[in-house]
Amino acid sequence: MRAIMFRPMWIRIVCIMFSCLLIISSFPNLDVRASGITVTIPNSSFEDAGTGIPHWTTHPTYGQNTATVSNERAYTGLNSMKMVDTSSTASLARVSEKVRVTQDEEYTASIFAYIEQGSIDVWLIFYNGTTETVVAPASVTPTLSQWTKRSITAKAPSGTNQVAVMVYSSLASVTTAYVDDVSIGQTVRNAGFEDPLSGTWTVSSGAAVSTQQKTGGTYSLKLDDSSSTTASYAESSNVPVTSGSRVGASAKIYPFSGSGLSIHLLFKNSTGTVIKDVVNDFTGAASQWTPVSVSATAPTGTASVSVYLTTGTTTSMVVYADDVSLDRPIEYNLGTQITNNPLDGAVFGKDASGNTDLMYVGSSGFPSKLVVYDARTGELVDDQNLNQTEAVWGMTVATDKSVYLGTANKKTMFRYIPGTVSTVNGKKVITGSSLVPITLPTGMDVIWDVTAGSSGKVYGGTSTSGKAFQYDPTGGTVVLNNNQPIVSGLDFERSIAYASDTEVYMGMGPTSNATIIRFNPTNGTQSTISPANYGSTYVLGLDYISNGAASKVFAKLSAGPMLVLDSANGTLDTSLSGVDSLGVSTKHPSDDKVFYTKGNNLYSYDISAKTESNLGDVGGSAVGYTFLTDAGNTYLYAALKSGKVLKYLLAATPTIDTTTSFVIPESPTKIRSLVNGPTDKIYTSGYLRGGMGIYNPDTAEETRYKGAGQAENMTTIGNNLYMGIYPGAWIKKYDTTSTWNDTTNPSILFQDIDGPPYHQDRPFGMLAEPLLNRLYVGSVAGSGKNKGSFTVYDLSTPQQVTTINDIVYHQSVISLAYKDNKVFGGTSVYGGIGSTVDATEGKVFVWNTTSANSTPVPQFVPAPGRKVISDLVVGPDGKIWGLAEGNSSGNSSHDTTADLFIIDPNNPDAAHTTVYSDKFSSIPVTWQGGKMVIGNDGNAYVSIGAKLYAVDANSATKDAVVLVGAGVSLLTADKYGDLYYVKYETNLYKYDK
């Protein structure tokens, strides 16, 4: 309800009135009052793309004919109206059909606009016979490059009986903009109290307009309750509304003396009788303006609604109110919040002609990308979206020049067949390429790695069933090992390397000791060549280096070292520490060396001598290698994460050349966590590659940063945002008053629970307690482990950390709430990826913050038959409200539903918990499920099962209504009570109540 909305007070500032010829319309008039507060006018979303712009006309005064129906952008649907005003001396306008109005009533017109340059405004034209009264809004600097709502409110002048909406680009503005979802409707009279109260508001004797305090304009409403027994009140005019409509009212309140004010929605039937009174009792800080709101769904039989403001009857008080609004809630698409362009992998090959050396880069995002460059110049020749994928895990180039990409999504491997590179108008382009998705069999959900075999074949390792495959473009996919896991009980084949058609190496996990398998694809025989126990869960990377009888396998372990193993018997040659490159190069064509990086330094490893050498700073970590010949010399080429191409000459006098650069295009990033953070801004963290988006509700300003990692959840104390980072359950602190730099801000605050004995990975439970200056963190264990932890971080000096591992036996801690010196923790029966599930029901435990807790900590099942306690909050009644999901009872109704439960914090046990069963729709959940916030209107709002609900906290059965019916996840709210959630994974949405 803030910066991106135009409130009624603005129309009081500017009102331009003049007469001109009546616009003759051949279309029938429509009754704006027929459908309630807001009605849609014909072709309001421009989906009708017939001749011209159907149902919209030009205006004789506001010239140019440069508006069209466009499918380039749309707020909803497929089309919008594109307005291109190329003149700085002439205006551009389009006028809707007219609708009937009632004189002296107030009406609001709204549009959604995406302004690339210039300015677009919405005007109202009232009609009285042949006379027009044109009302323009106040001048407001527009927000560019995002969909924003622009509105205007005005009273229908005496004698007028029709109104039309005009979308307008001014004389001075050169504009390119898109307009969508135009609407007009009735609102309360005298919403800013600039006119006399008589005839617009019904008031008590203690109510009057006042100039002493105001948020805009000249006047506000003053409610002076000098009596402690009689309330002072003001009720707005009635506004038509139909049953089932969601209605929201808001006002700004300034308590001057005393405390307590209530804002009501009074729903009335056709005779004017109140059939439902929805109230939000508000107590705000004295001597400052504070927003207050109330919202509800109109009950059956509703004909109208009014806004009712009243003081209490127990104490005398003086309070001011201003800028009242009454409208249906609006859902805004605030768009992508986070973008990234990570260099996740690179391989080298040639174009179809064989004349151009190509560098292929895989970049994660949603969608992920395959980007193709001239390897020698860094020029981009192709940019392909890998639709519906979020990560590129493995890449290889087959013997037929095809490039294969293993992805994190939906059993999909992509095959890119390169075309031919040519130069057109001085720019290199590739033509004739194709990108083909290949769907693998069931169980092969994530393709971790791919490696090239003979005759165009490729091999790949997958999860979640620990299977490997061979793909032949002439014969399709063959699941190896007779369609069975390579090693029973190991569900992740994280790495794979090809030696020959009878020898393929596979890195398996999760396990306490990294497992490497030598597998024969022709007969299915296998042997284990696992190294000594290095405490690694996975083998993250494998490279087979052909060197005759001295061939080697380089194995990168998840615990850190890279091992060099003899391929014949698995004996260890050496262990290389600090290697952070993505694998090693092939063997140098004329030397017994392979290459890799540590930090920014290039290293070589001499296979025969079993020694490594530091070759110098190259400015970045390597992710892919090849050897190319220039002027008779053999050079190592490597793609560096710094965006450089390394060209290294191994010679008596070595040379390092990193002058060639390449740029990876940005791609949207999925949103992993969402919170209201410091200074009431909305913070989002990115999935897989991190990054942060910050949205300012007051200004609609968006800020984006890269780095920091994937925050599973976040919480706030003062100006500091605390982030729970995966992997490793690290805790980072972002000081929002200092510059973001991803090295020292956010800074690493704690990183002690990822290793033994705790092995924690995902901090989903994040709770800050400012008075105690503590963080409470609930976490999910690492892969293969099911003992979640609860950790107390004392942020005072000296800092102290207390971790209680397995606080609820073999469950993860994913939700936390604080009330009256108690932390309430909610659990999930699911542990880390690939772990054993041996618990049946999610629990709530209670941690006393003022005394030394001893284990076992008090715990109980709040919602029998449920596996996951996905969220806990302090409810509007001061009790602990929670969400419970997942079916562990065999009750079929639990398969697709979730429960609401309420705990008495003074008696936290099952006997004092009320369960509202099957309250919401649900979908399968392990760790991250439903989210709940308490609105400043006293309602609870729940994002669960891909839907957004409002829960009537005052109803005995906690009635829930669906506000948004699909695509919803996560949830938070701003200080105004407006809701924010993620829709379809990458876009932030705002529900303006």
Run of H or E including 131: strand 131-135
CA distance 483 to 491: 13
Distances (CA, A) of 384 to 538, 643, 665: 31, 18, 10
How remote is the C-alpha of 714 from its chain's centroid?
Answer: 13
CA distance 560 to 545: 20
Cβ neighbours of 698 (radius 10 Å): 14
Q: Residues near 648 by Cβ (< 8 Å), separated by ≥ 6?
A: 595, 602, 615, 618, 635, 636, 638, 654, 655, 656, 657
Domain boundaries of the chain, sorted by first residue? 9-187, 202-328, 341-592, 669-992
Q: What is the pLDDT of residues 910-958, one digit of tens each?
A: 999 999 999 999 999 999 999 999 998 889 999 999 999 999 998 999 9
Sequence-distant contacts of 953-956: CB under 8 A, at least 24 apart: 953/875, 953/876, 953/877, 954/278, 954/279
Q: What is the DSSP string of 266-306?
A: EEE-TTS-EEEEEEEEE---TTS-EEEEEEEEPPTT--EEE
How remote is the C-alpha of 132 from its chain's centroid?
Answer: 46
Q: What is the DSSP string of 475-535?
A: TEEEEHHHHS-SSTT--EEEEEEEEETTEEEEEEESSSS-EEEEE-TTT--EEE---S---
At the top level of CATH, the class of 669-992 is mainly beta
* Omega prior to 798 cis, within 30 of 0: yes
Closest CA to 867 of 836, 909, 827: 827
Regions of the chain with pLDDT less than 50: 1-36
Q: What is the pLDDT of residues 520-542, one digit of tens each?
A: 999 999 999 987 777 788 999 99
CA distance 291 to 306: 18
First to last CA, the chain: 7
| Per-residue model confidence (pLDDT) at position 627 | 98
Tokens encoding 927:
């760790």
**Three-state helix/strand/coil letters over 746-780:** CEEEECCCCCCCCCEEEEEEEEEECCCCEEEEEEE
| 3-class DSSP assignment, residue 259 | coil
Q: What is the DSSP string of 782-798?
A: -TT----EEEEEE-SSS
Cβ neighbours of 921 (radius 10 Å): 16
Q: What residues form DSSP beta bridges with 676?
A: 682
Cα 885–889–890 angle (5° rounding)?
110
Tokens encoding 512:
């306490």
Pairing of strands 345-350, 357-363: antiparallel
| Per-residue model confidence (pLDDT) at position 35 | 32
CA distance 759 to 780: 9
CA distance 39 to 18: 27
The reply to whether domains 202-328 and 341-592 share a CATH topology is: no
Sign of CA dihedral 794, 795, 800, 802: positive
Q: What residues form DSSP beta bridges with 223?
A: 207, 319
Domain 341-592 has CATH 2.130.10.10: yes
Task: Specify whether the CB–CB gap between 92 and 64 falls below 8 A.
Answer: yes
How remote is the C-alpha of 935 from its chain's centroid?
Answer: 21
| 3-class DSSP assignment, residue 35 | helix
| Per-residue model confidence (pLDDT) at position 1 | 33
Distances (CA, A) of 735 to 595, 678, 715, 717, 749: 39, 9, 12, 10, 12
Tokens encoding 101:
């109005």
Distances (CA, A) of 252 to 325, 726, 990: 10, 41, 20
For residue 638, the one-letter residue type is: A
Fold observed for domain 9-187: Jelly Rolls (2.60.120)
Domain 202-328 has CATH 2.60.120.260: yes
Task: Specify whether the CB–CB gap between 9 and 190 falls below 8 A.
Answer: no
Run of H or E including 11: helix 9-13
Tokens encoding 297:
């769904």
| Per-residue model confidence (pLDDT) at position 173 | 80
| Per-residue model confidence (pLDDT) at position 312 | 72
| 3-class DSSP assignment, residue 590 | coil
CA distance 826 to 842: 7
CA distance 398 to 421: 19
Cβ neighbours of 339 (radius 10 Å): 18
CA distance 847 to 827: 14
Sign of CA dihedral 753, 756, 757, 763: positive
| 3-class DSSP assignment, residue 894 | helix
| Per-residue model confidence (pLDDT) at position 511 | 84
pTM for this model (two decimals): 0.84
